[in-house]
């Protein structure tokens, strides 16, 4: 158990809909990362937050947004969903967000039908 | 454009032999490198890391080698065990990390 909790584990939704994925980081970790893993793809970095502030942005679509709340949990919002958004979405957390290893949650499998 | 590449999607090794997993990166500014292991239905777990000031880091059966001039790193597992069978991702960066597509290692008993 990495200490990072992601909910829900599975999500099936229709095209055009909006969903919210939730992540609770390990206790004491200030940095949260979101990654997308599509079929046969590596982990694509989406966005990083540190102590409530956006720190780095990767290949995140404009239809996607995220935030980190004062209690340090984070949400990833995906809107106007398309079939190609079907993927595993991982959240990870780390103490500082600079170097060092990150601890991953088990992921949320999103299926868009 | 993939900044971190793992060109071998899969690798099979006999138990007890050495497993060598390779990773190439394109950005010479990357200064921290990590390897993660992933089992099915689980998130990746951290395995070993190396900073750019070193060329080797060892932790038990796992050794990571970094060749900065070639922008190449490798993970050596000696001896390989069946429990090492998993997908291995390398990651490179510093403030932001880029992952490779993974290499699926199968250790044959």
Q: Where are the alpha helices (DSSP H) in chain B?
A: none
Hey, of B96, B100, B103, B104, which one would you mutate to test binding to chain A, going by the most A CBs within 10 A of its CB? B96
Run of H or E residues at A109: strand A108-112
Where does the pLDDT of residue B1 fall: very low under 50, low under 70, confident under 90, or very high at 90 and above?
low
In this prediction, residue B41 carries a pLDDT of 81
Q: Which residues contact B14 (CB under 8 A, 6 or more apart)?
A: B80, B107, B108
Determine the pLDDT at residue A88.
94
Angle at A57 (CA atoms; ends A52, A61), nearest 5 degrees: 110
Distance CA A105, CA A11 (A): 16
The whole-number pLDDT of residue A56 equals 85
At A8, list the tokens: 């829900």
Instruction: Enumerate the residues of chain B whose CB falls inside 8 A of the CB of residue A48.
Output: 96
Which of B36, B42, B100 minimises the CB distance to A106? B42
Low-confidence ranges of chain A (pLDDT < 50): none
The predicted structure's pLDDT at residue B59: 95
């Amino acid at each position: 158990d990495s200490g990072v909790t992601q909910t829900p584990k599975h999500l099936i939704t229709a095209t055009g809909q909006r969903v919210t994925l939730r992540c609770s980081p390990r206790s004491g970790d200030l940095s949260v990362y979101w990654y997308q893993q599509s079929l046969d793809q590596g982990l694509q970095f989406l966005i990083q937050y540190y102590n409530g502030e956006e720190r780095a942005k990767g290949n995140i679509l404009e239809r996607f947004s995220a935030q980190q709340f004062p209690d340090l949990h984070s949400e990833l919002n995906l809107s106007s969903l398309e079939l190609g958004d079907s993927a595993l979405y991982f959240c990870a957390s780390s103490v500082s967000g600079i170097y060092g290893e990150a601890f991953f949650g088990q992921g949320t499998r999103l299926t868009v039908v | 454009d993939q900044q971190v590449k793992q060109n071998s999607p899969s690798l099979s090794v006999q138990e007890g032999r050495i497993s060598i997993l390779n990773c190439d990166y394109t950005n010479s500014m990357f200064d921290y490198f990590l390897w993660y292991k992933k089992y099915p239905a689980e998130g990746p777990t951290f395995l070993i890391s190396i900073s750019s000031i070193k060329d080797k880091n060892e932790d038990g059966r796992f050794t990571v080698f970094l060749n900065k001039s070639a922008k190449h790193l490798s993970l050596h597992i000696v001896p390989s065990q069946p429990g090492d069978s998993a997908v291995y991702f390398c990651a490179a960066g510093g403030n932001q990390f880029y992952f490779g597509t993974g290499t699926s290692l199968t250790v044959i008993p």
